[in-house]
Amino acid sequence: MTGQVLVTRGVAAIVVCICAGSAVAAPTNTTLQSGWTWQSLGSNTYDTGTVGTKRGGQNGQTTGPFTDTSFGVMNEQGTPWYDGSDLSAQQYVQNQVFGNYGTSSPPGPSGTRYYNFGGNGTGAGQNFSRATAERRSVTLNTWNNTNQDVGGVATYGQIVYVPVSARLVVGQGFGADEMLVKGIGGNGGGTSKFDITSQINASFTTSAFGGINNINNRIVLGSSTEFFDPGALGNYDMAYGFGVPLTAGQISLSNFGTVTDEGQVVGFAGQGLTPNSVGTGLSDTYNVLGSLLQDGSAFSLSFEATASVDISRVFGNADARVSMGPGMEGNARLIVEYQMFQAIPTPGSLALLAMGGLVAARRKR
């Protein structure tokens, strides 16, 4: 399972332009002495860059870079990417109408990587559970303002930095690949039809900036397929997913799904990075200027996702199992635009002070 079904790989930069003639912010807490002014020293930007959730390795991979976003790939003991921070070690979800076909480990250097060790109510070697969950996080640092507008009376030449824009850009990618149907048993020469519903939900939350919660993001995919029964003791896999032609043995295949962003349907579920997959990417930008800390402290965002699959028989005598390998990732970026000011006497005051100083000096001679 590649798990590379997620399309969020970065977020476009936010550009804030301070144009000539536009209003310029100034310190509001630090006051000036009479006859002094704030001289603008220009503007600057603090940018964390895009920081993404960790990824795992593909089958047999022991050295980075790791690119697999599948559920569970960071929760495999004895592998380089294990850190124990995930909710589940299950790379697949599976559901079968009547029996339990079981999942064996595929061949390959990793040996038992995809073997079902048992979890979410299933036993080792059985089908994976019908639903599972994953949690990953990213940590960034807020802007460390070394010249804050903290108040008091400005001293000569004091420099103050004033934030004028702060945006938190958050991306979420989620989906699934290896969306397969296995036909099992039935009457040789007969046909059976099954309805399948798969769902991947995603969300993120952070306690920073007064608390931000982004929920009700999901892909719902419905499928209906009819196939020739494999016959007693027989079985075979058939392709299932967007953009996939009928597999040998299939009579019909139809798919329909939607993508929901914070409870609003925003489009149809589209193909992911591999043919029998589905995936989407969402991006949101938050204005966090009013709740921005300026001490360089760390803050975290927690990304969560769940995946489930259901199957029911419409008619026929065969059994069937549906499999899906869900994946998820998230990324975040904090961008702070700030202006810099220096406290100085007004130009007119400087001239008067200079002239007065010269006159006084002459009088002393």
Instruction: Give the mean pLDDT of the chain.
Output: 82
pLDDT for the residue numbered 284: 96
d(CA 28, CA 39): 14
End-to-end C-alpha distance for the chain, whole angstroms: 92
pLDDT for the residue numbered 203: 97
In a domain, 106, yes or no: yes
The C-alpha torsion from 342 through 346 and 351 to 353, rounded to 10°, is -80
d(CA 31, CA 140): 33
pLDDT, one tens digit per residue, over 23-38 is 457 899 999 999 999 9
**47 is written with which tokens?**
């940018």
Neighbours of 264 (CB within 10 A): 9
Provide the domain limits for residue 166. Answer: 30-364
More confident residue, 6 or 273: 273
pLDDT, one tens digit per residue, over 152-201 is 999 999 999 999 999 999 999 999 988 889 999 999 889 999 999 999 99
In a domain, 212, yes or no: yes
**Are 309 and 185 spatial neighbours (Cβ–Cβ below 8 Å)?**
no
Per-residue pLDDT averaged across 338-344, rounded? 96
| Overall number of domains in the chain | 1
Displacement of CA 166 from its chain's centroid (Å)? 20
**Are 42 and 134 spatial neighbours (Cβ–Cβ below 8 Å)?**
no
In a domain, 16, yes or no: no
pLDDT for the residue numbered 98: 95
pLDDT, one tens digit per residue, over 246-265 is 677 788 888 888 999 999 99
Least confident segment among 88-97, 149-158, 303-312:
88-97
In a domain, 23, yes or no: no
pLDDT for the residue numbered 85: 62
Residue 209 has pLDDT above 60, yes or no: yes
Model confidence at 145, pLDDT cuts 50, 70, 90, reads very high
More confident residue, 8 or 283: 283
Model confidence at 76, pLDDT cuts 50, 70, 90, reads low
In a domain, 20, yes or no: no
d(CA 250, CA 105): 26
In a domain, 18, yes or no: no
Least confident segment among 7-11, 54-58, 223-227, 354-358:
7-11
Locus of tokens 């075979």:
236
pLDDT for the residue numbered 125: 80
